[in-house]
Amino acid sequence: MLRAWKQGDLGADAAADELYAELRRRARAHLRRERRGHSLSPTDLVHDIYLRLSRQQWDWSNRQQFYATASRMMRRVLVDHARAKGAQKRFGVQIDLDDGVGSTSPQVIDVLAVDTALHELSAEDERQARLVELRFFGGLTLEEAATSLSISLPTAKRDWRFARAWLARRLGVGASAS
| DSSP H or E segment with residue 95 | strand 92-95
With a cut of 60, say whether residue 102 has pLDDT above it: no
pLDDT in tens, 40-75: 788 888 888 877 776 776 677 777 777 778 888 887
With a cut of 90, say whether residue 123 has pLDDT above it: yes
The average pLDDT across 25-34 equals: 76
Confidence band for 100, pLDDT divided at 50, 70 and 90: very low
Distance CA 164, CA 168 (A): 6
Distance CA 111, CA 94 (A): 9
